[in-house]
Structure 1
Amino acid sequence: MAAIIRLAWQSLANRKATAILTLLTVAISVTLLLGVEKVRTQAKSSFANTISETDLIVGSRSGQVNLLLYSVFRIGNATNNIDWQSYQEISQHRSVKWAIPISLGDSHQGFRVIGTNGAYFKHYRYGQKQPLQLAQGEVFDSLFETVIGADVARKLDYKIGDEIIIAHGISDLSFNRHDNLPFKVVGILEPTGTPVDRSVHVSLEAIEAIHVGWESGARLGSTPGADVLAARQFEPKQITAVLLGLNSKMQTFALQREINNYPKEPLSAIMPGIALHELWGMMSVAEQALLVVSGFVVVAGLLGMLTSLLTSLNERRREMAILRAMGARPGHIFFLLTSEATLLTALGVVVGTSLLYLILLLTQPIIQSQFGLLIPITAPTNYELLLLLLVQLAGMLVGIIPAVRAYRHSLSDGMTIKV
């Protein structure tokens, strides 16, 4: 068996160009198959790790997926806001242990600005119940101070003490900037691999202060300077959403029903886990489509290898006759061809897996920066190893077809090639 494998290797080496092209075809298909699987699983993991220990998310009446997306993942916008008095009543409910108010709507150079308070840094959890940690500086204390996420600091090269200008709305244009009210960076958060990294955090009072003189997204008059505004007392009128932690998980459904029937304004209370499950259900069709496409690419790669082996078979009938003359049996010819297919597939799997990890190594920072998706470079999972094993077995089965033909040729040709 070892001699046949060595002979198969030498045979492939004698046909380097064809063998390399076939190997690359298999490798690229394996890279795509594993890449789709990694992105699919890591996207789910990244979304699931964005928020932890939050029992309910409260926002204006809307679908639970939409509420989850804009309140946690900073995707999209709220249909309406929550009155501040409603927030106070809900946060003081006997079942509520802590409440994190969130105000959205402004931005800074493409990054969302989050208005909140000290409860955010104290109670917000991500991943495996991990708290937010400051890499540098401290939490904002004054009106025009900000704490920025790790990606904001890295991409815009901000340091403690730098000043930033917040813009009204999602687009950062000259006419909607609060350019007379700069914020001082007083803290930079540790990386979390969540949308927190791409957020600029300011106080709720600061959100109110910078919109003095603005109405419906337009500047209607002159805005007072920072010194004048700092001397005034501000209280939010409205917020976008509330994250709630409860005293007991048993109280979740009762409080959810109570908030959904809140008499003073239409509100929705959702459980993050259930909303995520619904989101995965909506994405399942796209997931399956990607897997089917990558599966077809693998099939195409294996068919390419089959075509290569079958095409070269007639040219190698003289080689087979010489092997027969040297004492090789038809069974040896059969195993030689299957060994070649097995070697090509195995090398394709190894090269394809290595290529994927190289691509991940080069693109990981870009993917995290642009899409907020952290794809860690880890060893293949059991499922990924199973996929690779299936590709290997499929390659071996594909090799049987030219092996059977070579076996029949060797029987009919004997030691004399018939052309």
Structure 2
Amino acid sequence: MSITLKLAWKSVLNRKTTAILTVLTVAISVILLMGVERIRTQAKSSFANTISGTDLIVGGRSGQINLLLYSVFRIGNATNNIDWRSFEEFSQHKAVKWAIPISLGDSHKGFRVMGTNHSYFEHYQYGKKQALTFSQGRAFDSVFETVLGSDVAKSLGYKIGSEIIIAHGISDVSFSRHDNLPFKVVGVLAPTGTPVDKTVHVSLGAIEAIHVGWETGANLGNAPSKKQLENLDFQPKQITAMLVGLNSKIQTFALQRQINTYKQEPLSAIMPGIALHELWGLMSVAEQALLMVSIFVVVAGLMGMLSSLLTSLQERRREMAILRAMGARPRHVFALLVSEATALTTVGIIVGVAGTYGLLAIASPIIASQYGISITLSGISQHEWLLLGFVQLAGILIGFFPALRAYQQSLSDGMTIRV
């Protein structure tokens, strides 16, 4: 270690309290900068990985972002439903390889209930074309059986054989519950890090069965018993949306145009990738605002370090003069103060990175549980290294200001105490 670095280290140790506060200021700035960047990129990645291998999403006539949000992310509600005959027609289209019907509108203790069929478990994919798998049990076979997402089972403590009550609509209140029609849990899906984890899955027939005797969201008091309903064969009249996989990507635009111009009812067909791109375009302003806020916090932290160094420089004028008197040249004094600023910034960055990973390790399960966004503790990305490099460079440049002042001070000025 060179004499300059030794002196810088000794000087920092001599001012422990100030040095620790400076390091914490830089560390907090780095935590915010890296935290915002990590959550921003991971949220985008998590959204992009929610659905994979689906060529078209079809719903009632609506904007493509709205259709994407309610059909895939369970956010919001459909503007209109799809007639079951329309689903049958397009699911049997020669270009269609598979089709998954989706029926939304009910809930269970804050979690959305989705009606579908076995095609959902066979063809739905997420991430990099990963299929759904069961951590426990199996798919539903009868009307009053249900399959839970991993977060639903974990949050509410359900297991195979548990019984749940579904409520009509999104608000789970006593007068809207189908109390006489409990569902038996027969399967729990493995975690996916997508809205699938926060969904209660039932059959399309179950959606029809629980609404027998209900009109416009109200129980008319003449609902059949569970035993009576189990012996009936229910055919859906309407569904909320459908996910479509095609035999060839080349056929996507032709089928999309055919659906969008369908004369029997107004429908919209969207491509998930394009809808996601439009969604990110709308969110880009918020992303940039978050990034700018974190950058300003970093600047404020570095300004705090500059203020600390300049304040301590006034108290160290005699120290600088003694160093000069012992033979230190102006460049040695300059290098000493730049080294101190560099060391404080480096330690602050290290503490900040460690703090970021620690906080993310604590917060990631909470974020995944509450918002369905998976935050992975991966290594530092190239972009994050670039951001940290800018912070380090800024810290070095900050050290130039007090160093220049010390460089310009004369020996006699340093030896004279001004009151």
1:416 paired residue number: 415
- CA contact 2:321–2:411 (8 Å) conserved in 1: no
- CA contact 1:324–1:415 (8 Å) conserved in 2: no
Letter of the aligned partner of 1:256 in structure 2? Q
Letter of the aligned partner of 1:172 in structure 2? D
1:311 paired residue number: 311
- Number of residue pairs matched by the alignment: 418
How far off its partner does 1:9 sit?
1.3
Quick one: distance in 1 between partners of 2:170 and 2:414?
Answer: 78
How far off its partner does 1:408 sit?
0.8
How far off its partner does 1:322 sit?
1.6
User: Is structure 2 residue 93 aligned with structure 1 residue 106?
Assistant: no
How far off its partner does 1:271 sit?
0.1
How far off its partner does 1:166 sit?
0.4
Letter of the aligned partner of 1:122 in structure 2? E
Quick one: distance in 2 between partners of 1:225 and 1:10?
Answer: 82
- CA contact 1:325–1:415 (8 Å) conserved in 2: no
- CA contact 1:55–1:272 (8 Å) conserved in 2: yes
Letter of the aligned partner of 1:99 in structure 2? A
How far off its partner does 1:7 sit?
1.3
1:49 paired residue number: 49
Quick one: distance in 2 between partners of 1:397 and 1:88?
Answer: 67
SS of 1:103's equivalent in the other structure is strand
2:16 paired residue number: 16
TM-score by length of 2: 0.98
2:355 paired residue number: 355
Matches for 1:293-308 after TM superposition, within 5 Å:
293-308=293-308
Letter of the aligned partner of 2:61 in structure 1? R
1:151 paired residue number: 151
How far off its partner does 1:297 sit?
0.4
> What CA deviation, in whole Å up to 9, does each residue of 1:277-305 have, x standing for no partner?
00000000000101111110000000000
- CA contact 2:67–2:78 (8 Å) conserved in 1: yes
1:162 paired residue number: 162
Change (3 A) 1:162 1:415: closer
Quick one: distance in 1 between partners of 2:285 and 2:331?
Answer: 46
Quick one: distance in 1 between partners of 2:234 and 2:144?
Answer: 13
1:93 paired residue number: 93
How far off its partner does 1:13 sit?
1.1
How far off its partner does 1:83 sit?
0.4
2:227 paired residue number: 227
Quick one: distance in 2 between partners of 1:216 and 1:51?
Answer: 32
Q: Percent identity?
A: 70
- CA contact 1:5–1:336 (8 Å) conserved in 2: yes
> What CA deviation, in whole Å up to 9, does each residue of 1:129-158 have, x standing for no partner?
000000010000011000000000111111
Letter of the aligned partner of 1:364 in structure 2? S
Quick one: distance in 1 between partners of 2:252 and 2:416?
Answer: 81
TM-score by length of 1: 0.98
2:84 paired residue number: 84
Quick one: distance in 2 between partners of 1:401 and 1:216?
Answer: 72
Quick one: distance in 1 between partners of 2:9 and 2:248?
Answer: 65
How far off its partner does 1:5 sit?
1.2
> What CA deviation, in whole Å up to 9, does each residue of 1:161-210 have, x standing for no partner?
00000000001100000011000000000000000000000000000000
Matches for 1:308-347 after TM superposition, within 5 Å:
308-347=308-347
**Structure 1 residues not aligned, in runs of 5+:** none
Quick one: distance in 1 between partners of 2:365 and 2:298?
Answer: 28
Letter of the aligned partner of 2:66 in structure 1? N
How far off its partner does 1:414 sit?
7.0
Quick one: distance in 2 between partners of 1:414 and 1:312?
Answer: 16
- CA contact 1:149–1:197 (8 Å) conserved in 2: yes
Quick one: distance in 2 between partners of 1:73 and 1:6?
Answer: 57
Letter of the aligned partner of 1:361 in structure 2? A
- CA contact 1:152–1:199 (8 Å) conserved in 2: yes
Quick one: distance in 2 between partners of 1:40 and 1:222?
Answer: 51
**Alignment root-mean-square deviation, CA:** 1.0
**Structure 2 residues not aligned, in runs of 5+:** none
- CA contact 2:325–2:411 (8 Å) conserved in 1: no
1:273 paired residue number: 273
- CA contact 2:43–2:373 (8 Å) conserved in 1: yes
Quick one: distance in 2 between partners of 1:402 and 1:171?
Answer: 61
Letter of the aligned partner of 2:412 in structure 1? D
